[in-house]
Structure 1
Amino acid sequence: MRTHLAPVTAEPTAGDLASIDAEWPLIAAELDLLDAEIRLIYAEDHGGPTELDWRRLRRAEARVTRAATGSATRTDPRRAA
């Protein structure tokens, strides 16, 4: 059964866009991690992952960790002081 969604008529506010902009480093890092994981899956069909595939995964995981830490410190009001 298909439900109909109401059309979106409101544009995002400046606050909405600022929130997205602040979260973008984490979003980009998570997309890189997803790409590295997909490469590992496909590598199984071609003889297995290479050392480069594993290195790409480790670097992507580290980037997500750094971005998440940075995002948490920017949004935590206790750390703002």
Structure 2
Amino acid sequence: MDHIVTVQEVVTAFAGWLEPTDAELDAIERESPLIAAELEELDVRIALLDRTPTELDQRRVRRAHHKVLAERAALANRVASGEAA
């Protein structure tokens, strides 16, 4: 019979290394408007999975998708101008 051995000591020894760095946190902060827009688009699409979309629903999808595209463009412009670097 094989015994299951815990590896908690090994895992917790590297716990400090598992935290995000300041640079990673800054990158997440810069991308948060895009992430929020993508989540909003996903919410709209999920809400419409179980029904036939009406014209209003299609407008909601388009509006959410255009918001994602606008946030992507804004992020790309910030990166290109060096603001996000």
Q: Smaller-chain TM-score range?
A: 0.7 to 0.9
What is the total number of aligned residue pairs between the two structures?
70
Quote the Cα distance in structure 2 between the aligned partners of 1:54 and 1:39. Answer: 12
How big is each residue's C-alpha offset from its partner over 1:37-74, in whole Å with a ceiling of 9 and x where there is no partner? 2222222xxxx212221111011011001100011011
What root-mean-square deviation, in Å, do the aligned CA atoms of Structure 1 and Structure 2 show? 2.1
Letter in 2 for 1:68: R
Q: TM-score, normalised by structure 1?
A: 0.72
Quote the Cα distance in structure 2 between the aligned partners of 1:23 and 1:74. Answer: 11
1:61 paired residue number: 65
Residue 24 of structure 2 corresponds to residue 16 of structure 1: yes
Residue 51 of structure 2 corresponds to residue 40 of structure 1: no
Greater Rg over alpha carbons, structure: 2
Q: Percent identity?
A: 43
Q: TM-score, normalised by structure 2?
A: 0.69
Runs of 5+ in structure 1 lacking a partner? 1-5
Where does structure 1 differ by over 6 angstroms across 4 or more consecutive aligned residues?
Answer: none
Q: Which one of the candidate residues 55, 74, 78 is aligned to 2:78?
A: 74
> For the Cα contact (< 8 Å) 1:39–1:53, is it kept in 2?
no
Letter in 1 for 2:38: E
